[in-house]
Amino acid sequence: MANTYDLIVKTSLTGSTDLQNIPQTYTDLRIVCLGQNAGSSPNLSMRFNGITSAIYARNYISRDNNNYANYRESGQTGIEITNSYQSPDTNIFSIWTIDIINYRSTRFKTTIHGIYNPTFVTAGNGSTGAAIGLFRETSAISSIQFSGGTTGRVYVYGIKGA
Amino acid sequence: VAYKYIGATTITAGGTTLITFSSIPSTFDHLVLMMRQKGDSTGQTVLQALIRFNSDTGANYWRRWLYTLGNSMNNSYSTSGMTSMNIGDGFAGLQTDSTNPSGYEVFIPNYCNEAGSKYKSIYWNGGFPGPTASSVGLTNVSCGTWFSNNAITSITIQQEGNVAFMAGTSMYLYGIS
């Protein structure tokens, strides 16, 4: 039985991380991010193919500290993965999983995010939620850029049919 | 291979109160637990599944829930250390369809500190549908932390009140690398 779920790249997540040469041999991509940001650095955002024009959109629902939140934004210059990237406790990673469905499609690309920021009560009570993103571009995704945040790890997996 | 089977437990008869995955290999980056829970009890709407790591029964767990139960949206977080992390909710005796299973995916990244020696942050997604007008249904998107820098070598799951899992409960553990 053929492997259908492969690690493409694993690297450190820094304030600016550029993942080039995404193979064009899979159907979908799954990204796992582990991040920590003790300061006031910008929120973690994601772009594709180095495109910085305002062609990104996002909807999300979350429980962030004591507030429910839901929001829709369009015409963005990147997909903000979460608006609460901070994890004040340096012992705790926040978690994001991001699925990029049919990343080689010649239609717009939809992304699905799970957002999890566990933070103990002494430093805040954490947040959890989910989001949908849109990359309004018809070219295949061949590179992924992350910006914001400080330290962590990013893993990119390719998923395909047999 | 990025996604590899480690082990599974399937309950075929009642009476089992504790499911254990021991001697977990340290060769992966993340773990995924796929959980199908059938929990029955009297007097409760749902029956929580409790997870522990490395048999740690100290007050070293924390969790944040975001969930719908019936038609309402709810949330909860633990305000102090808990002695286990309550991750799942199975149908229980007050439900019309008390024998239906719930389904959860539990994601446990960095379980061996591959990305750095940290406390163990995990998340879980799942719930159960309400297939009849008198059953409520539940959707859960939540996360938690085990306050330990130790690599995870074993996982145990039991139900609140130590209620036995019903036949049809199954748990599969996978490693991702």
Instruction: Dump the DSSP string for A12-40.
Output: E--SEEEE----SS-SEEEEEEEEE--S-
CA distance B79 to A93: 19
What residues have CB less than 8 Å from A3, skipping those under 6 apart?
A: B1, B2
Which residues of B make CB contacts under 8 Å with A?
A: 1-3, 29-30, 62, 64-66, 73, 75, 77-80, 107, 109-110, 114-116, 118-119, 121-123, 125, 141-145, 147, 149, 176-177
Q: What is the chain B residue with the closest CA to A63?
A: B66
Nearest to B2 among A68, A117, A157 (CB): A157
How many Cα atoms sit within 13 Å of A20 on the Cβ side? 1
Q: What pLDDT, on a 0 to 100 scale, did the predictor assign at position B167? A: 83
CA distance A85 to B63: 18
Quote the tokens at residue A74: 């369009």
A121 Cβ under 8 Å from any chain B Cβ: yes
C-alpha dist (Å) from residue B134 to A54, A140, B41, B94: 47, 47, 17, 10
> Distance (Å) from the C-alpha of residue B139 to the closest C-alpha of chain A?
12
- Of B139, A79, A39, A41, the C-alpha closest to A71 is A79
pLDDT by 10s per residue, chain B, length 177:
688 999 999 998 878 999 999 999 999 999 999 999 887 765 666 788 999 999 999 999 988 888 888 888 887 777 778 999 998 777 666 666 656 788 999 999 999 999 999 999 999 999 887 766 666 788 888 889 999 999 999 999 999 888 888 888 899 999 999
> Distance (Å) from the C-alpha of residue A151 to the closest C-alpha of chain B?
10
Quote the tokens at residue B77: 């977080």
> Distance (Å) from the C-alpha of residue A153 to the closest C-alpha of chain B?
6
CB–CB of A126 and B177 under 8 A? no
Q: What pLDDT, on a 0 to 100 scale, did the predictor assign at position B156? A: 98
What residues have CB less than 8 Å from B53, skipping those under 6 apart?
A: B120, B146, B148, B152, B154, B155
The per-residue DSSP string of A74-115 comes to: EEESSEES-S-----STT--EEEEEEEETTT-SS-EEEEEEE
Q: What pLDDT, on a 0 to 100 scale, did the predictor assign at position A138? A: 95
Q: What pLDDT, on a 0 to 100 scale, did the predictor assign at position A83? A: 55
Q: What pLDDT, on a 0 to 100 scale, did the predictor assign at position A133? A: 94
> Distance (Å) from the C-alpha of residue A41 to the closest C-alpha of chain B?
20
Interface test with A, best of B74, B76, B77, B120 (most A CBs within 10 A): B77
CB–CB of A63 and B79 under 8 A? no
CB–CB of B119 and A92 under 8 A? yes
Q: What is the mean pLDDT of residues A120-125?
A: 56
Higher pLDDT, A117 or A52: A52
Q: What pLDDT, on a 0 to 100 scale, did the predictor assign at position B91? A: 67
Q: What pLDDT, on a 0 to 100 scale, did the predictor assign at position B55? A: 97
Q: Do you know the residue count of chain B?
A: 177
The per-residue DSSP string of B61-105 comes to: EEEEEEEEETTEEEEEE-SS-BSSEEEEEEE-TTSTTTTPPEEEE
Q: Percentage of residues in chain A with pLDDT exceeding 90?
A: 51
**Most confident of the following: A21-35, A145-159, B44-58:** A21-35
Higher pLDDT, B55 or A114: B55
Q: Residue A157 above 80 pLDDT?
A: yes
Q: What pLDDT, on a 0 to 100 scale, did the predictor assign at position A132? A: 92
CB–CB of A3 and B118 under 8 A? no
Q: Residue A123 above 60 pLDDT?
A: no
Q: What pLDDT, on a 0 to 100 scale, did the predictor assign at position A162? A: 66
